[in-house]
Amino acid sequence: MERRRRRAEPQSCIPGDTALAGLLVAVLLGVWGAQALEMSVGKIPFLEAVNGSTVLLPCTYTSCIGIKNLYFRWQFNDNGTMQKVCDSVIAEEGAKPDVKIYRERVEFVGDSKTNNISILLHNITFEDDGQYTCFGRNPKEKGKNHSAIFTLIVVDELKVVDNTLTIIIVSAVGGAIGLLVAFMLTKNFVLFVMAKIEEKNKECLVSSSGIDNTENGLSGSKADSKATPKKA
């Protein structure tokens, strides 16, 4: 009899393998996201400054895998038109960039050793009021780019904040705390004095009891010290 050759049946995909593959992809995406370039203008992305003053527009960059030929630029949103303020390329970690300035009264004050690409705006005017975008692109991360927006608000004068209510609340709270502390100290002092008085009273009672026993000829008194003579 001739042996029949069995055709290999295709193996079905195991659900467990699918879940594992999905988890692996998610982990890889998470790692990649953690390594991605990030630009930051700080925790407070806006500033209110007086007309004619000098202001700092902060920006720093981070990348878990480092940089290579990092391109960065500052842009100003002029009524919907993006105007280039400055730009440059940082060849590698710590390398000093050759920054090109495209706008008057702008000074680059960053330092690549600290991942800083901040700029100064001198003698600001109301025309400088608006949004400034700090942009970066890192070829080492396959051209990964990121940007952050900083808003500058130019005013005639800074508003004086009325702290009257705050002062009243703080004073009231401070006064209440002071009264509570004074009450506790007074209470402790009174308890201490009362304890001393009670202790002194007890000493007086003990001393008085000893004197009475002596006068009444009780046991332990001087009247019992002499023995009664025996009859012959």
Instruction: Give the torsion sign (CA, 48, 52, 54, 60).
Output: positive
- The CA-based angle 132-108-85, given to 5 degrees, is 40
Distance between CA atoms of 4 and 57, rounded to whole angstroms?
A: 80
Q: Over the stretch 159-179, which tens digit does the pLDDT of each residue have?
A: 776 667 777 787 778 888 988
Distance between CA atoms of 24 and 178, rounded to whole angstroms?
A: 61
Q: Does 1 map to a domain?
A: no
Q: Over the stretch 2-41, which tens digit does the pLDDT of each residue have?
A: 455 555 454 444 445 555 555 444 444 444 445 589 999 9
Mean pLDDT per 10-residue interval, the chain, length 232 residues: 50 51 46 71 97 98 95 96 97 96 97 97 97 97 94 90 72 82 85 81 66 53 51 52
Q: What is the pTM of this model?
A: 0.58
134 shares its domain with 192: no
Contacts of 85 (CB under 8 A, 6+ apart): 73, 74, 75, 76, 101, 102, 103, 106, 119, 132
99 shares its domain with 166: no
Q: Is residue 148 within 8 Å of residue 134, measured between CB atoms? A: yes
Distance between CA atoms of 132 and 78, rounded to whole angstroms?
A: 9
148 shares its domain with 172: no
Q: Domain limits at 131? A: 37-155
57 shares its domain with 145: yes
42 shares its domain with 145: yes
147 shares its domain with 102: yes
